[in-house]
């Protein structure tokens, strides 16, 4: 009997009284087993963890037969290493085969110019002055789409995203360029989405509807006070009310609106007030509106080139979301259920497994930019990640005045996954992080090698999952207690689960 190499044990701190003390280890935490190949996740007792560790060491003597059967059924142990490897390979290979039929996103950047001056913008100086896509360039970008899909061996449906800078600028040029892109997409049967700051969204709604735009994404940074302290026009004037109006006009006209709420150490405590505002607006339950959160982050890695000295490369890549922000975010959520209802945060991608009984889904690729995203910029260049646009060292070709594809740069990135990065192959939490972290950061830190790893340390991957589990598990246990309906003397589901010493999230 062998422990599956994909079995992970997480140690989770829960509020006192959440579980029977029999589940607590010496540190007062509970252990959660998870296996993203079998899809299982279970709360286990210290005795069960000890038995699993004996099996891991090759000692099956004294392990209870009923427990062994349960571990085998849940996929935490196996009888044949080759068969387990086959199950793993079928998931990994099947995923990347599916990508070849998945939708492919093509982002059009009419110009880099933006009318806002957000201090954390990753495009920075690019937004003050920019060339423009003319009619010939826009047509050349459309012509490049089937060639790029052929190079990616992708047969999925293309879709177009308006991107910037700010794509929906209220200027004559921008309106003409956007309409040409929309019309070209409509004529070719390509769905369209838009990512916009939202300040002129209301004026674009008729045009977006005319050409069948599917959805728009806008950003708000919390309450008007927080938002208007940073997402402002270049002259310092506020934007919250304009964006609020744009959201309302778009949603009421029938467009789907995604509201991205950026959270950082300055805004996290204002989220409860913003949730109350969103609820009063009717946004939280609006059928056309969905709110989700992101974290502001450092983007110095975008300026790295492979010829920088190694220490400089690593220093510029190091750091992303500020330490402690995620913990502060979840602490705020615990005290404010309305914020959770508004955002439904899921940084470790386990929410559905914990709260809805879904299987644990393997995270085989941390970002779709490598395989199914391309951006066309107003310089005629092609980029594989929207955060890298405008940085020539990250260009993977040109679409104008001629089509060129930098296969030497793009192909290792496109084929990168949990098995191509040597450090990831032997890591049993790789299916919870996507394998190797951000490819661009890995490329930048290593001096130009995509098949290297630049991810948070394994300990911080564990911490990410454990932090989310410590937040979600009490919610799940409360839900299950509330749902237990039984006649007098009948043992309920919760009692059955805890009595057998496991928590079967999967049916």
The angle, 0 to 180 degrees and rounded to 10, between the axes of the packed helices 65-73 and 46-56 is: 80
Q: How far apart (Å, rounded) are the C-alpha atoms in residues 435 and 456?
A: 10
Across 129-138, 154-163, 392-401, 436-445, least confident range: 436-445
Which pLDDT band, with edges at 50, 70 and 90, does 319 fall under? low
Spacing of C-alpha 369 from chain mean position: 11
Identify the band that residue 489 occupies on the pLDDT scale cut at 50, 70 and 90: very low
Show the CA angle centred on residue 89, arms to residues 84 and 92, nearest 5°: 130
pLDDT at 498 over 70: no
Superfamily of domain 104-414: Aldolase class I (3.20.20.70)
The winner for highest mean pLDDT among 123-127, 203-207, 438-442, 503-507 is: 203-207
Residues 461-477 have a mean pLDDT of 92
pLDDT by residue (tens digit) across 378-419? 999 999 999 999 999 999 999 999 999 998 888 888 888 878
CB 34 within 8 A of CB 46: no
Asked if pLDDT for residue 484 goes beyond 60, the answer is no
Which residue reads 């279970």 in tokens?
Answer: 42
461, 462, 468, 474: CA torsion to nearest 10: 170
For the chain, give the percent of residues with pLDDT over 90. Answer: 67
Contact 425, 416 (CB under 8 A): no
The residue ranking higher by pLDDT, 224 or 464, is 224
Query: With 50 as the cut, is the pLDDT of residue 494 above it?
Result: no
Q: Which three-class secondary structure string do you get for 68-96?
A: HHHHHHCCCEECCHHHHHHHHHHHHHHHH
Asked whether the predicted pLDDT for residue 134 surpasses 50, the reply is: yes
Q: Global pTM?
A: 0.90
505: confidence class by pLDDT, cuts 50, 70, 90: very low
Dump pLDDT digits (tens) for 260-306. 999 999 999 999 999 999 999 999 999 999 999 998 877 888 888 88
Q: What is the pLDDT of residue 340?
A: 97
Q: 302-307: list long-range contacts, CB under 8 Å, 24+ apart.
A: 302/122, 302/387, 302/388, 302/391, 302/394, 302/440, 303/391, 304/393, 304/444, 304/445, 305/393, 305/444, 306/393, 306/443, 306/444, 306/447, 306/448, 307/447
Res 127 pLDDT > 50? yes
Beta bridge partners of 34: 8, 41
* Averaged pLDDT score across all residues of the chain: 89
DSSP string, 459-474: HHHHHHHHHHHHHHHH
Q: Indicate whether 499 pLDDT > 60.
A: no
3-class SS letters over 110-177: CCCCCCECCCCCCCHHHHCCCCCCCHHHHHHHHHHHHHHHHHCCCCCCEEEEECCCCCCCCCHHHHHH
- Burial tier of 265 (Cβ tally within 10 Å: 0-12, 13-18, 19+): middle
Phi first, then psi, for residue 122 (nearest 5°) are -75, -15
For residue 451, give the nearest of 370, 356, 381 by alpha carbon. 370
Among 174, 133, 76, which residue's Cα sits nearest to residue 428? 76
> Binning pLDDT at 50, 70 and 90, where does residue 459 land?
low
CA separation for the pair 51, 90 (Å, rounded): 29
pLDDT for 211 beyond 70: yes
Residue bearing tokens 């930019």: 369
pLDDT in tens, 40-71: 999 999 999 999 999 988 887 778 889 999 99
Q: Where are the domains of the chain?
A: 2-94+457-500, 104-414, 416-456
With cut-offs at 50, 70 and 90, classify the pLDDT of residue 433. confident
Exposed e or buried b per residue across 27-42, where buried means at least 16 C-beta atoms within 10 angstroms of its C-beta: eebbbbbbbbbbbbbb
Residue with the larger pLDDT of the pair 252 and 94: 252
Determine contact, residues 240/228, Cβ cutoff 8 Å. Answer: yes
- The Cα 319–Cα 262 span in angstroms is 18
């Amino acid at each position: 009997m062998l422990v599956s190499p994909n079995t992970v044990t997480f140690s989770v701190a829960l509020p006192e009284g959440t579980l029977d003390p029999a589940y607590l280890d010496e540190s007062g935490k509970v252990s959660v087993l998870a296996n993203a190949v079998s899809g299982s996740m279970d709360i286990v007792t210290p005795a069960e963890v000890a038995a699993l560790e004996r099996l891991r060491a090759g000692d099956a003597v004294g392990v209870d037969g009923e427990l062994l059967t349960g571990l085998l059924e849940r996929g935490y142990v196996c009888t044949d290493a080759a068969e387990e490897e086959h199950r793993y390979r079928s998931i990994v290979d099947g995923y990347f085969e599916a990508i070849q039929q998945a939708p492919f996103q093509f982002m059009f950047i009419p110009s880099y110019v933006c009318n806002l001056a957000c201090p954390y913008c990753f495009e920075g100086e690019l937004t003050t002055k920019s060339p423009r896509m003319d009619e010939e360039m826009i047509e050349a970008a459309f012509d490049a789409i089937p060639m790029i899909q052929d190079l990616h061996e992708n047969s999925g449906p293309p879709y177009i995203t308006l991107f910037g800078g700010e794509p929906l600028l209220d200027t004559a040029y921008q309106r003409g360029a956007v309409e040409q892109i929309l019309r070209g997409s409509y004529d070719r049967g390509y769905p369209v989405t838009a990512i916009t700051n939202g300040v002129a969204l209301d004026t674009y709604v008729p045009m977006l509807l005319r050409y069948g735009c599917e959805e728009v994404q806008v950003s708000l940074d919390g309450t008007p006070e927080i938002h208007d302290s940073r997402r402002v026009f270049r002259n310092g004037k506020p934007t919250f009310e304009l964006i609020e109006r744009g959201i309302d006009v778009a949603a009421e006209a029938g467009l789907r609106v995604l509201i991205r709420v950026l959270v950082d150490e300055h805004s996290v405590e204002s989220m409860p007030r913003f949730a109350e505002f969103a609820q009063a607006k009717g946004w939280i339950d609006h059928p056309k509106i969905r709110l989700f959160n992101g974290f502001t982050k450092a983007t110095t890695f975008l300026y790295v080139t492979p010829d920088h000295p190694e220490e400089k490369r690593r220093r510029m890549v190091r750091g992303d979301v500020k330490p402690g922000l995620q913990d502060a975010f979840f602490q705020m959520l615990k005290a404010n259920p309305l914020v959770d209802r508004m955002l439904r945060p899921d940084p470790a991608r386990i929410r559905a497994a914990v709260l809805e009984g879904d299987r644990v889904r393997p995270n085989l690729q941390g970002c779709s930019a490598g395989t199914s995203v391309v951006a066309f910029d107003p310089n005629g260049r092609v980029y594989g990640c929207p955060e890298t646009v405008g940085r020539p060292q990250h260009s993977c070709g040109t679409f104008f005045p001629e089509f060129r594809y930098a296969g030497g740069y793009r192909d290792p990135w496109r084929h990168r996954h949990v098995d191509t990065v040597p450090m990831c192959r032997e890591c049993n939490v790789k299916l919870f992080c996507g394998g190797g972290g951000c490819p661009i950061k890995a490329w930048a830190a290593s001096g130009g090698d995509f098949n290297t790893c630049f991810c948070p340390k394994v300990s911080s991957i564990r911490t990410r999952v454990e932090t989310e589990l410590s937040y979600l598990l009490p919610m799940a246990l409360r839900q299950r207690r509330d749902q237990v309906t039984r006649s007098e003397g009948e043992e309920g589901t919760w009692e059955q689960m805890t009595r057998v010493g496991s928590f079967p999230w999967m049916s």
